[in-house]
Amino acid sequence: MSILAFLRDNAPWLSAGVLLTFLSGFGQTYFISIFAGEIRESFALSHGQWGGIYTLGTSASALVMVWAGGLTDRFRVRALAPVILVMMTGACVFMALNPVWWLLPVVIFSLRFTGQGMMSHIAVVAMARWFVAARGKALSVATLGFAVGEAFLPLIFVSLLLVYDWRMLWLVAAGAAVLGIPLLLLLLRRERTPQSWAQTSQSLGMDERHWTRRQTLGHFLFWFMVPALLGPAAFNTAFFFHQVHFAEVKLISHMELVAMFPIYTGVGIGAMILSGWALDRLGTARLLPFMQIPMVAAFMVFAFAEGPGMLLVGFVFLAMTTGANTTLPNAFWAEFYGTANLGSIKAMAAAIMVFGSAIGPGITGVAIDLGVGIETQYIFVAGYFVFTTVMMTIGVRRARPLLSLSP
């Protein structure tokens, strides 16, 4: 099937995926961190205190995701997603109206659980379930919402922040979440039948079977993947979380930095489309071990770059992994472990990633307070991604023969 025919025949379901991933942006770090300066000033918080609050709230959301993520195995997207959107609306209003610092962990929990956690989880599980032969293309298209949000929400809201109070802008975000509910219901008037419910052999994992969450946790490959799941979540989040501070260190304005985001997003979209195309032809086993190598280059550039030109090079490398990271890991779980229990298995992976996004800002924020510069930290981050690459390579090579048993 050509890509145009694929888009035409599956437009409602793919559009629903794009909508969900886009609206998840209000709970993503790149959006919340836009207001980091205003939040820290309003509540008199240091970098370490704000990072600690973010870590606490996000860690709590990771724990809840272990349970809540499994709801995608029991409820259709049409039933579950509107409930999460209502909760996200409440979380945005909560941020706008919150008067005290000690409620910030609850606010962050609400935003991270609904946005980064459940909205993203529902979208990628739906694509992995609804599509088998074209899983890579479906994930590439649906996750365009991440890229669009990352490109334009910071630019729009940083510009509005020059004119409007930051709390008012969170009410605007709440309004956008509300508008997403009827649009989603319109797109999913006829929801696609999940492939896993059909129990087709194409959806089986290793050893020609559907794995349970308990079996997955007892399998060696899962643990070889854990560092790679933690890494991008922790350090991409930390990078965008400290974007205001990073701009100050690099002696450029915050607006100059966010002006690079659309280019970062454009490269990420290209990497996402390319990885989705390659995924349908080569499978995740051949591609996954190479996915995080560009992160090594990105953080080395961020550590030593001087001036916007070199920083842009770092964004290009960062985008290469970010784009591939939206398709390859999500397809990995379905390909290696089957789709019957995909929601609960993916929930464990999502919880690890959410936990990574919790510890990243906390660790780096405390390090800044202790006098360890953000540039020095990024040298160690680059070394971490060398480690994750080695771990994925070993794990996938050991597990790949088990796939040959599957049709």
pLDDT in tens, 376-407: 999 999 999 999 999 999 999 998 888 755 44
**Cβ neighbours of residue 333 closer than 8 Å, sequence gap 6 or more:** 128, 342, 345, 346, 349
Q: Which two tokens stand for residue 14?
A: 């793919």
User: Side-chain half-sphere of 232: how many Cα atoms within 13 Å?
Assistant: 22
pLDDT in tens, 60-112: 998 898 888 888 878 888 899 999 999 999 999 999 999 999 999 999 999 99
Q: At what angle do helices 328-337 and 120-130 cross, to 10 degrees?
A: 50
What is the b/e burial string over 285-311, where b = at least 16 CB atoms within 10 angstroms of the residue's CB? bebbbebbbbbbbbbbbbbebeeeeeb
Question: What would be the CATH architecture of the domain defined by 10-189?
Answer: Up-down Bundle (1.20)
Of 373, 112, 73, the residue nearest 249 (C-alpha)? 373
pTM as predicted: 0.74
**What's the CA gap between 170 and 183, in Å, rounded?**
21
pLDDT in tens, 201-259: 346 778 788 888 889 888 999 999 999 999 998 998 889 888 888 999 999 888 888 88
Neighbours of 252 (CB within 10 A): 16
Tell me, what's the pLDDT at 69? 80
The CATH classification number of 203-401 equals: 1.20.1250.20
**Residue 131: strand, helix, or coil:** coil
DSSP-derived secondary structure letter, 275: H
pLDDT in tens, 117-170: 899 889 988 887 777 667 777 887 888 888 888 878 988 998 899 899 999 999
Burial class (CB in 10 A: 0-12, 13-18, 19+), 21: buried
**Residue 134: strand, helix, or coil:** coil
**What's the CA gap between 285 and 395, in Å, rounded?**
10
**What's the CA gap between 77 and 326, in Å, rounded?**
19
Burial class (CB in 10 A: 0-12, 13-18, 19+), 40: middle
| Residues recorded for the chain | 407
**Cβ neighbours of residue 163 closer than 8 Å, sequence gap 6 or more:** none
Q: Which two tokens stand for residue 154?
A: 């910071």
Q: Which two tokens stand for residue 174?
A: 């709440």
pLDDT in tens, 12-61: 888 999 999 999 999 998 899 889 889 999 999 987 788 889 889 988 99
Q: Which two tokens stand for residue 145?
A: 């919402």
- In the chain, CATH 1.20.1250.20 covers 10-189, 203-401
Q: What is the DSSP string of 144-208?
A: HHHHHHHHHHHHHHHHHHTTS-HHHHHHHHHHHHHHHHHHHHHHTSSPPPPHHHHT-GGG--GGG
Backbone angles phi, psi at 143, to 5 degrees: -80, 5
